[in-house]
């Protein structure tokens, strides 16, 4: 092979995280095949060791930054106004005075935005490792051949779907002044309240962007763990339904950015 051909081959095989982020949306099958090929690259100086070249952390950082940026607007302008009456009622129910309620609301307002900005990257990375760990164990149990790196890369790049969902929902949140942007079955069940467990389950688990995210996970994990898409779909869907049901049972749980 000539030097020029070698340079061309290197440019084709070189990891392209930004291109992969776009590819997850436009051509997930081919994209995850490329990502899987960069999960364990042998190091020339240490042939017995491999390095992960997927740069999985990049889409996670992008998701965390966008989540934090969105929080700058929605926390003071949407979240706190929606929670203010609940905070006042909680203080009064515990025997507090109206002055105590206003003090509690003031404190909550003061710490809400910093907590959201600090919590965004922490929650994003914790979610990544938790979901990747669960899927890695499940896929190994059903005969998958991948490593934790495969699950981590697939879940990380899959977060782009949730990020797109957050950006799409933001103008709707602003126009309706609510966090509850319904893009799933809950739109057909107006009798359900956001506090209902069924609402939480449907809102979180069967949202349009959640379903899109699940499809992306199925494609990526099928490639990464070398299993059929049917088997991957069974594992992913059952696990996600179980996780969504568990989240819906947690008081205050069930609301977050899809994926």
Instruction: Output 134 or 249, whichever has higher pLDDT.
Output: 134
The helix-helix angle for 17-26 and 57-74 (nearest 10°) equals 70
Q: What is the pairing mode between strands 41-43 and 46-51?
A: antiparallel
Enumerate the H helices of 142-249 as residue ranges: 148-176, 197-205, 208-225, 229-249
Residue 6 forms part of a structural domain: no
- CA–CA gap between residue 102 and residue 91 (Å, rounded): 9
Residue 8 has pLDDT above 60, yes or no: no
Asked, for residue 206, whether it belongs to a domain, the answer is yes
Sign of the dihedral through C-alpha 224, 225, 231, 235: negative
Residue 238 in domain = yes
- Non-local (6+) Cβ contacts of 220 within 8 A are 24, 28, 32, 35, 153, 154, 157, 158
Q: Which residues of 75-89 are buried (b: 16+ CB within 10 A; e: fewer)?
A: beebbbeebeeebbe
CA atoms within 13 A on the CB side of 129: 6
Is residue 9 in a domain? no
User: What's the pLDDT score for residue 54?
Assistant: 94
In a domain, 129, yes or no: yes
Q: Phi, psi (5° rounding) for residue 145?
A: -105, 5
- To the nearest whole number, what is the mean pLDDT of the chain? 85
Q: Provide the domain count of the chain.
A: 1
> Is residue 256 in some structural domain?
no
Is residue 257 situated within a structural domain?
A: no
* Cross-strand bridge partners of residue 50: 42
* Phi and psi torsions of 53, nearest 5°: -105, 20
Q: Are 216 and 158 in contact (CB under 8 A)?
A: yes
Query: For residue 189, is it within any domain?
Result: yes
Burial (Cβ within 10 Å: 0-12, 13-18, ≥19) of residue 5:
exposed
Tell me the per-residue pLDDT of 76-129, one tens digit each, with 9 for 90 and over: 888 888 878 777 777 777 877 777 777 877 787 788 888 888 888 899 999 999
Domain that holds residue 128: 15-249
CA distances in angstroms from 245 to 123, 199, 253, listed in the order given: 19, 11, 10
φ, ψ at 43 (rounded to 5°): -85, 130
pLDDT in tens, 219-252: 999 999 999 999 999 999 999 999 888 887 876 5
- Residue 251's pLDDT is 67
Q: What is the pTM of this model?
A: 0.84
Among 174-183, 194-203, 208-217, the least confident range: 194-203
């Amino acid at each position: 092979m000539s030097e020029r051909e070698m340079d061309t081959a290197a440019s084709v095989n070189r990891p392209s995280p930004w291109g992969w982020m776009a590819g997850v949306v436009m051509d997930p099958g081919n994209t995850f095949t490329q990502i899987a090929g960069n999960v364990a690259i042998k190091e020339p100086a240490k042939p017995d060791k491999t390095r992960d070249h997927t740069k999985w952390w990049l889409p996670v950082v992008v998701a965390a930054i966008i989540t934090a940026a969105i929080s700058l607007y929605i926390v003071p302008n949407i979240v706190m106004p929606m929670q203010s009456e609940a905070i006042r009622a909680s203080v009064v129910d515990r025997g507090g005075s109206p002055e105590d309620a206003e003090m509690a609301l003031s404190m909550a307002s003061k710490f809400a935005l910093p907590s959201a900005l600090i919590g965004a990257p922490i929650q994003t990375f914790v979610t990544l490792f938790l979901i990747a760990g669960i899927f890695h164990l499940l896929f190994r149990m059903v005969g998958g051949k991948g490593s934790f790196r495969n699950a981590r890369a697939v879940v990380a790049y899959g977060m782009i779907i949730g990020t797109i969902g957050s950006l799409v929902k933001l103008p709707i949140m602003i126009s309706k002044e609510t966090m509850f942007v319904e893009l799933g079955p809950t739109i057909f069940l107006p009798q359900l309240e956001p506090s209902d467990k069924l609402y939480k389950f449907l809102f979180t688990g069967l949202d349009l962007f959640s379903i899109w995210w699940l499809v992306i996970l199925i494609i990526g994990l099928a490639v990464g763990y070398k299993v059929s898409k049917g088997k991957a779909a069974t594992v992913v869907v059952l696990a996600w339904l179980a996780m969504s049901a568990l989240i819906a049972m947690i008081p205050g749980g069930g609301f977050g950015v899809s994926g």
